[in-house]
Amino acid sequence: MLTSDGRQMCVSRCLQCVGVSLVPMAIVCMLSNILLLLPELKIHFLLEGHVTREATWATGLWGSGFLVLLGARAFVLSSKTRGCCAFRSEMLCQMVYSCVCLLAAGICCLVSATGLSQGPLCLYNSTSGSTWGVPLQPLPNRHAGYLYNRTMWSGVCLEPRGVVPWNVVLFSVMGGSSGLQTLLCGANILNSLLGLILGQGFCHNKVIPVSV
């Protein structure tokens, strides 16, 4: 009897695809957070502490950026693991990595949504004169927030110039990317669990010709 074993590693391929997909999203989150820290592409706002609070938390750098990149690297490397026991041990590690990445990306997504809804820190005219604050945040007795009223986007913030659309675009991009990361990491937890239970070769295609 002749046996040919055509192997299709479903779990390993899924790990590799998730790892590769997470890399560009992590880079996008890191770039978005860096730009949020530099309104008008000037550093003096950051040095003076005049940057939106959610941007200074840098969740796009350490959360959806650095930690997710580490997880993506682990996912790609684990796809090359061979051996039943080694593979199951690796799947257990990948579940831990996936949970950490899921938490990091989820925090970044939540912070991005908060920064988007609250509005930017900027210099605006108040009753006591020009002051730094968050004039566009939702107020129960005044308005539901600037996102529902685009007429508030211009004329309220004096400095940095154009900070409202700047924050809207960048927080939206960072929130969307980290949200996709969360979904991928959640799927990867299920994939790793499947690999842990069923092993490396549960999708192997085995062709065994019958000898006459």
The 3-state secondary structure of 134-146, one letter per residue: CCCCCECCCECCH
Q: Determine the pLDDT at residue 169.
A: 96
Q: What share of the chain in percent tops pLDDT 90?
A: 57
Among 8-12, 62-66, 144-148, 194-198, the range with the most confident prediction by mean pLDDT is 62-66
The per-residue b/e assignment along 41-58, b for 16 or more CB within 10 angstroms, e otherwise, is: eeeebeeeebbbebbebb
> For the whole model, what pTM was predicted?
0.84
Q: Determine the pLDDT at residue 200.
A: 55
Q: How confident is the model at residue 21 (pLDDT cuts 50, 70, 90)?
A: very high
Q: Give the residue, 6 or 51, on which the prediction is more confident.
A: 51
Query: How many degrees, rounded to 5, is the angle at CA 207 between CA 201 and CA 209?
Result: 150
Q: Determine the pLDDT at residue 9.
A: 58
Nearest one of 167, 179, 166, 165 to 108, comparing CA atoms? 179
Q: What is the mean pLDDT of the chain?
A: 84
Nearest one of 49, 41, 33 to 133, comparing CA atoms? 49
DSSP state of 206: E
Q: Give the residue, 1 or 89, on which the prediction is more confident.
A: 89
Contacts of 189 (CB under 8 A, 6+ apart): 95, 98, 99, 102
Q: What share of the chain in percent tops pLDDT 70?
A: 83
What are 121-156's pLDDT values in tens digits?
999 998 888 999 999 888 776 666 788 888 888 888
Q: Determine the pLDDT at residue 155.
A: 81
Q: Determine the pLDDT at residue 203.
A: 47
